[in-house]
Amino acid sequence: MDQSVSQPDRERRGIQSIEVGGQILKVFASEPRPMALRDLVKAVNMPSGKIHPYLVSFGKIGLVSQDPTTGHYQLGPMAIQLGLTSLQTLNPVREASPFAEVLAEETTHSVALSVWGNMGPVIVRLADSAYPVHTNIRTGTVMSLVDTATGRVFSAFLPRPFVEKLLVDDRKRLGPDIAHPLDAAVVEELIEETKRRKLSRGVNHPTPGLVSFSAPVFDYSSNIALAITIIGPTGIVDSDWDSPVARAVRTCAETISRRLGYRGAY
């Protein structure tokens, strides 16, 4: 037995031909239209003589199909079935949680994941900051649609007819709990701003002394799956729209969205 190769190294060793084939499939996954062989050669940076055997094998198992008229290639029925099965088993919170933990660790600020619940946006995961933060946000907290950055993300990206009545109900239900609720016209401006920026901000509201940035996470159907929110004291967190914290939470939301199959602009 060869002792020069450690057990972990042997376990990590893969099959090179599969990895090469994976590069070809990645190109198909990123290209919405059927591809001519010459375009595929250019995209993969591999000679046609090497690519063609992979295409033949992929065709036999349904990962790639070829148009008999044009000769162009595209993903086949097996690839589509694999994608659909993956989407059906995808759990947005499970996928997002490791990214939320990393974001909290790298920024040292609190990071919350929220999903839509029976009564509105609800915190389902909270990664604590590296320092004490005086806030009443906990797992299970229902966030105001109009008076919190998290809520305004859902207000901006849920269908407007669905949100319309909820905005009124939200003001009635949570209004007394907010020391200085925002005027309805101001809320509308903030919602429109959230749509434009794909980012919502709260500064000293609803909790004095805290800054929050919240960004939407979209799924493969371009619907909002959850919101990721970062929270910290005004003296520590830069509240500028282009601050490092704002960019970090927006980038994190985009990364998670891509993992959930979102292919739109961010």
Residue 178, pLDDT above cutoff 50: yes
pLDDT value, residue 2: 47
Could you say which of 57, 88, 119 is where a domain stops?
A: 88
Query: Is 47 among the domain residues?
Result: yes
Q: Is residue 2 part of a domain?
A: no
Q: What is the number of structural domains in the chain?
A: 2
Q: Are residues 99 and 209 in the same domain?
A: yes
Per-residue confidence (pLDDT) for residue 3, from 0 to 100: 47
Q: Which of 34, 69, 88 is the last residue of a domain?
A: 88
Residues 216 and 129 in one domain: yes
The whole-angstrom separation of Cα 66 and Cα 120 is 47
In terms of residue numbers, what domain contains 195? 92-259
Mean pLDDT of 138-156: 91
| Any domain includes 121 | yes
Q: What CATH number does the domain containing 80 carry?
A: 1.10.10.10
pLDDT tens digits, residue range 31-53? 878 999 999 999 999 999 999 99
Q: Same structural domain for residues 102 and 200? A: yes
Distance CA(25)–CA(236), nearest Å, equals 45
- pLDDT confidence band for 11 (50 / 70 / 90): low
pTM of the prediction?
A: 0.71
- Is 113 among the domain residues? yes
User: Does a structural domain hold residue 146?
Assistant: yes
- Hey, is 121 helix, strand or coil? strand
